Amino acid sequence: MWIKICGNTSLADAQHAANSGASALGFIFAPSPRRVTVDQVRAISPYLPRNVERYGVFVDASFDEIAATVHDADLTGVQLHANNDPDLPCRLRAHFAAEPASCPISILAVLAFSDDMEPQMEAVARDAARHGAIDALLIDSRSPIGHGGTGTRYDWQAAQHMFRRVAPQLRLIAAGGLNPDNVAEAIRTLTPWGVDVATGVEAAPGRKDPVRVQAFTRNARDTFAQLEKSRRPRASRR
């Protein structure tokens, strides 16, 4: 079970998300109401639990920009939107693996949901198996105005078949329009490896609602636990 709270802009919000049970936190380095600077995140990272992942979210960013930001902001992962360089994940993996005393960097690729995206998902899964560059694939909502943070959901029933076909080959993360009230439904329908939320736990763009963050992580963890329990074989009775 993996839960990411994205779009953090303050130490208080990031710490609350971590203390509420988030597995990972996201910081957006791209045009967005939730955009942050390297200096902002550098001031936040030292005060977060070391077991909570810290992701930089990048949109069509260059190798040099991503590598420098990961280093300077003390990040543990990258999330790649609108990446036009198919070799970028492999280059990033090789770069960070070669750094002495470097922690492993997790890499998430992002695809916007569409009815005909299954071949794309399978291609990413094959590349991940062959090169090991992608740790997980995040499926977000499609929007003509931006990448991520749309607050709108896609058709989970339509996506259900794709998730279940590709899930054995690759970790899949559900995102797009999630909130405390519907995250359980999304998990039961899609059975993803993880979930990601930004706008669904906000009081205002870039400012988290502590109650909604706590409710989201609790509902997600409870639902993951229920699914895991239902999968366990029952002991035979004599």
What percent of the chain stands above pLDDT 70?
Answer: 92
Residue 47, pLDDT > 80, answer yes
CATH code of 161's domain: 3.20.20.70
Residue 82: inside a domain, yes or no? yes
Distance CA 84, CA 99 (A): 25
- Note the pLDDT tens digit of each residue in 99-141: 765 677 999 999 989 888 888 888 888 877 777 889 999 999 8
Residue 209: inside a domain, yes or no? yes
Distance CA 221, CA 227 (A): 10
Read off φ and ψ for residue 172, nearest 5 degrees: -115, 135
| Coil/strand/helix, residue 196 | strand
140 a catalytic residue: yes
Residue 238: inside a domain, yes or no? no
Which of 13, 135, 140, 196 is an active site residue? Answer: 140
Whether the pTM exceeds 0.85: the reply is yes
Reported confidence tier of residue 3, pLDDT bands at 50, 70, 90: very high
CB count within 10 Å of CB 152 equals 12
Residue 45, pLDDT > 60, answer yes
pLDDT at 160: 92
Residue 43: inside a domain, yes or no? yes
Residue 58: inside a domain, yes or no? yes
pLDDT at 236: 47
Residue 63: inside a domain, yes or no? yes
60 a catalytic residue: no
Residue type, 224: F
Residue 44, pLDDT > 50, answer yes
Full residue range of the structural domain in which residue 124 is found: 2-231
Residue 84, pLDDT > 90, answer no
Distance CA 24, CA 8 (A): 11
pLDDT at 82: 82
Reported confidence tier of residue 233, pLDDT bands at 50, 70, 90: confident
Domains held by the chain: number: 1
pLDDT at 234: 63
Residue 237: inside a domain, yes or no? no
H-state helical runs in the chain: 11-19, 38-44, 63-73, 88-98, 118-131, 156-166, 183-190, 210-231
The separation between CA 237 and the C-alpha centre of its own chain, rounded to angstroms, equals 42
- Note the pLDDT tens digit of each residue in 4-39: 999 999 999 999 999 999 999 999 999 999 999 999
* Strand 106-112 relative to strand 136-140, pairing: parallel
Which of 6, 13, 135, 196 is an active site residue? Answer: 6
pLDDT at 238: 44
Residue 236: inside a domain, yes or no? no
| Ranges 76-90, 144-158, 222-236, most confident | 76-90
pLDDT at 100: 67
